[in-house]
Amino acid sequence: MRRDRLTFLMMTGLPAIQLVLFGYAIQTDVRHLRTVVLDESRSAESRALIATIGNSGNFDIIGDVASREALRDAVESGDANAALVIPPDYEREIKGGRTAAVQMIVDAADPQTSAAALSGALLAAQARATQIISERYRLLAPLDMRVRPWYNPAQRSAVFIVPGVIGILLTITLTLITGIAIVRERERGTLEQLIVTPISKTSLMLGKLVPFVVVGYVQMTVVLGLGKLIFDIPIRGSVLLLYVLTVPFIIASLGVGLLVSTFARSQGQAMQMTFFFMLPNILLSGYVFPRMSMPAPAQWIGLMLPLTYYLKVLRGILVKGVGFAELWRPTLSLAVFAVVLLAFSVRRFSKTIE
Amino acid sequence: MNDCGSPPAAPLAVETVGLRKAFGALVAVDHLDLTIPRGEVFGLLGPNGSGKTTTIRMLCGLLLPTAGRASVVGHDVATEAEFIRTKIGYMSQRYGLYDDLTVYENLRFYATVYGLHGTARAARLDAHLAALGLDELRTQMAGTLSGGWKQRLALACATAHEPEMLFLDEPTAGVDPAARRAFWTSIYELARRGTTILVTTHYMDEAERCQRLAFLSRGHLIGLGTVQEILTQFAQPTIEDVFIELQRRDEGAAV
C-alpha cells in the first residue's frame, strides 16, 4: 500500500476532502441573505422594523437603495438576494392604528434558498407586529409557541451531513475500491495465479476483502474524529454500538463491490458501474436530500439501498444518542442486505473463477 | 509436504480421455486423448484458437471440462482439484506478478500461499533466487523488471513449492532470444530433477526442444509424437512447415 500511492491517496484523502467539502458546502440551512432596503418612510418605526429583520439572522442588511430601479438592479445583478420595501406611509398607518403593508422581495430562483427567507420574513414581521400591539395596548401576547428543535438545536447542517459522510465514504471504499482492486488482479493475471494455488476460495476472498474492512473502519474513525474537531458534531450514543452495527453495512457494501468485480471486465468498467451505483446512493438515500420530500418511486429506490438504513443507524446513534432498542429495524434490514448480497456475489465470484 | 518417501507416484503425469470443453456453441477442445509420462518435457502446439490454453486451464483446474475426464499426477481434475493444486505449478503469459511488490516479496508471497513458512521458506527462497540469478534484484519492484527478468521471476514463483508438474502457457512470448535460452536451461534443469513440464509455444525452435509434441487444430488433436515422428507424419522438412501447413488447412476449413 505504501507503494500504490494512488490507492493510498484515495483512501486517506477521500475522507478528508469529502468531509470538508460536504461539511462546509452543503448548507441546506440558508442564513444571512444579503438584503437591501428601500426605506421610503424614514421614520423611527421603519428603523425599528429594519432592526428586527436584521437581527433575525436570516437577513444581512447590506445597504440602502434609493429607488425601485436601484432595488431591481441589486437583485438582478445578484448583489442582493432579498430586498425590503417600506412605503412612505408606514409610520402614519401604524400610528393611526391601521395595518401597514411592507414588502419583502426574495430571489426565489433557488427554492431552497428562498424558503428560509420567506418564513424568516414572515416571522420577523409577526414578531414586530406583536411587539407593536403589546406596546400599544400594554398587553401580553396571548400565545407563546416555544419551538424546541431537538437533537440539533442550532440546526446546523454539519450535524446532519457529517454522519452521512461516513456512510458515503464506506460505500465508496467498500464498493469502488474493492471492485477495482479485484478487477485489477484479474487484469494482471494474479487472480488466476492465485486460483491455481492450494489456497481455498474462502481464504482468497477473505484475503481480498478483510483489508478493506480495516480501511473502512479507519476512515470511519478519521471522519468521526475530524467531524468532532472541525464541525463539533455530537457523538451522543455509543461509538462501540455504532462500530458493531456497521458490520452488516460493511458486508453488504463488500457484496456490491464483489458483485461489480464479477461483471466488470476492466477497471474502467468497474468504475462506471460503481458510479452508477453511487449516484442513487448520494441522491436517494437521504444523505443530503430528505427522503420525505421525494416522490414515491424515488423513495422506493431509496428503500433498496443499504445506505438508507445505515444513515438511520448513524444519525440515530450520533445525533440522537439512541441505542439498539430504537435501531433494530434498520439493523435487521441491513442484515438482510448483507446476507443476500454476500451470498449472491460470492456465488457469482466462485463461478467466474470456477 | 514434499519430503522423500512419499507414496509411489502414478506413472502418468497427465492423462486425458475424451476431454471436451464447450463455451456455449463454441467447442474449444474436443475428444482430446493425451498421456504424458512423468519427467517428460511435452510441447503443446497449434495456431491461435486451437484450444491449447483451454486445455492447460482445464488441467490446472481453472476450467471444468464439459465432458470426458482428465487426471493430473494421478488425480482427477474435476473432483480432486484441491489436491492437484498442491502438486502443480502454473505460469501464464501474463506472469501473475504483483508489480508493486519487490522480487523477493513476490516470491515470498507465493511461497507462503503454497504453505511454506519460517526457515524452510527462507532457505527455499534463497536457493531459488540464486538458481535463477535473481539475487541481485531481490529488492527491485517487479513492475520495473524487464520482460526476461519478469519471466524468470514468474517461473520462480510458479516453482517455489517444487511442484511435480509444471504448466507453462506461452511462457516466452515477448522475451528476447538470450532470455529464452536461459529460460529453457532452467526448464531442462527442472525436468532433470523429475518435474514433468507441459509447455505451449509459438516458437518452433522451442517446440523442437520438447521430447514429444502434440499438435492441436480447432480443438482436435491431429498429431502426436517426437519431433521426428511429427515431421514424418506430415511429410514436412521442419516443425515450422508443419505449423504453417496446419494453419493453411485451418483457414481452408474455415472458408
Q: B interface mutation test: which of A2, A184, A193 has the most B CBs within 10 A? A: A193
Q: Residues B233-252: what's their mean pLDDT?
A: 81
Q: Residues A315-336: what's their mean pLDDT?
A: 92
The closest CB to that of B114, out of A4, A189, A197, belongs to A197
User: Strand B26-37 relative to strand B12-23: parallel, antiparallel, unpaired?
Assistant: antiparallel
Asked whether the predicted pLDDT for residue B68 surpasses 80, the reply is yes
A191 → chain B, closest CA residue: B96
The whole-number pLDDT of residue A53 equals 86
The closest CB to that of B100, out of A4, A197, A354, belongs to A4
The closest CB to that of B61, out of A4, A189, A196, belongs to A196
The whole-number pLDDT of residue B41 equals 94
In chain B, positions 159-218, which contact chain A (CB-CB < 8 Å)?
none
Given pLDDT bands bounded at 50, 70 and 90, which one contains residue A240? very high
B60 → chain A, closest CA residue: A196
The whole-number pLDDT of residue B1 equals 42
Q: What is the pTM of this model?
A: 0.78
Give the N- to C-terminal CA distance of chain B in Å, as an integer.
53
Percent of chain B with pLDDT over 70: 95
| A114–chain B nearest CA distance, Å | 53
The whole-number pLDDT of residue A197 equals 87
Q: How do residues B217-232 score in pLDDT, each as one tens digit?
A: 888 898 899 988 888 8
Cell numbers given for B1: 509436504
Q: Residues B129-134: what's their mean pLDDT?
A: 81
Q: Which residue has the higher pLDDT, A328 or A56?
A: A328
The whole-number pLDDT of residue B2 equals 44
Q: Residues B66-87: what's their mean pLDDT?
A: 90
State chain A's mean pLDDT as an integer: 86
The closest CB to that of B96, out of A188, A198, A353, belongs to A188
Given pLDDT bands bounded at 50, 70 and 90, which one contains residue B42? very high
The whole-number pLDDT of residue B37 equals 92
Contact residues on chain A for B90, CB-CB shorter than 8 A: 193, 196
Given pLDDT bands bounded at 50, 70 and 90, which one contains residue A317? very high
Q: Residues B191-198: what's their mean pLDDT?
A: 92
The whole-number pLDDT of residue A2 equals 47
Asked if A334 and A342 count as a contact pair (C-beta separation under 8 A), the reply is: no
Percent of chain A with pLDDT over 90: 27
Contact residues on chain A for B155, CB-CB shorter than 8 A: none
The closest CB to that of B86, out of A190, A193, A198, belongs to A198
Q: Which residue has the higher pLDDT, A13 or A315?
A: A315
The closest CB to that of B62, out of A3, A190, A195, belongs to A195
The whole-number pLDDT of residue B253 equals 62
Q: How do residues A102-142 score in pLDDT, each as one tens digit?
A: 998 888 887 776 777 788 888 888 888 888 888 888 777 77
Across the A:B interface, residue pairs with CB atoms under 8 Å apart total 54
| B231–chain A nearest CA distance, Å | 35
**Site of grid cell 476449413:** B253
Asked whether the predicted pLDDT for residue A68 surpasses 70, the reply is yes
Contact B97 A197 (CB under 8 A): no
Contact A188 B64 (CB under 8 A): no
Give yes or no for B63 touching A (CB within 8 A): yes
CA B96 to chain centroid: 14
User: Strand A33-39 relative to strand A82-86: parallel, antiparallel, unpaired?
Assistant: parallel
Contact B64 A354 (CB under 8 A): yes
Which residue intervals of chain B are DSSP H helices? 52-59, 81-87, 103-113, 118-131, 147-158, 177-192, 204-207, 227-234, 239-254
Contact residues on chain B for A189, CB-CB shorter than 8 A: 92-96
The whole-number pLDDT of residue B146 equals 86
Contact residues on chain A for B100, CB-CB shorter than 8 A: 3-4
Q: Residues A56-75: what's their mean pLDDT?
A: 88
| A266–chain B nearest CA distance, Å | 15
| B141–chain A nearest CA distance, Å | 10
Q: Which residue has the higher pLDDT, A291 or A155?
A: A291
Given pLDDT bands bounded at 50, 70 and 90, which one contains residue A335? very high
In chain A, positions 187-216, which contact chain B (CB-CB < 8 Å)?
188-190, 192-200
Contact A194 B113 (CB under 8 A): yes
Contact B97 A354 (CB under 8 A): no
| B244–chain A nearest CA distance, Å | 30
Contact A199 B64 (CB under 8 A): no
**Comparing C-alpha atoms, which of A186, A311, A332, A175 is closest to residue A254?**
A175
Q: In what order do the strands lie in the sheet with A59-64?
A: A59-64, A33-39, A82-86, A103-106
Asked whether the predicted pLDDT for residue A269 surpasses 80, the reply is yes
Given pLDDT bands bounded at 50, 70 and 90, which one contains residue A3? low
For residue A127, the one-letter residue type is A
Contact B110 A197 (CB under 8 A): yes
Percent of chain B with pLDDT over 90: 28
Give yes or no for B104 touching A (CB within 8 A): no
Contact B82 A200 (CB under 8 A): yes
Quote the CA–CA distance of B115 and B113 in Å, as a whole number: 5
Q: How do residues A199-234 score in pLDDT, each as one tens digit?
A: 888 888 888 888 888 888 988 998 898 889 888 888
State chain B's mean pLDDT as an integer: 86
Buried b (16+ CB within 10 A) or exposed e, A309-321: bbbbbbbbbbbbe
Q: In what order do the strands lie in the sheet with B12-23?
A: B26-37, B12-23, B67-72, B75-76
A353 → chain B, closest CA residue: B62
Asked whether the predicted pLDDT for residue A310 surpasses 60, the reply is yes
Q: Residues A175-179: what's their mean pLDDT?
A: 87
Contact A189 B95 (CB under 8 A): yes
Q: How do residues A77-113 score in pLDDT, each as one tens digit?
A: 888 888 999 999 998 888 888 888 899 888 888 777 6
Contact residues on chain A for B101, CB-CB shorter than 8 A: 3
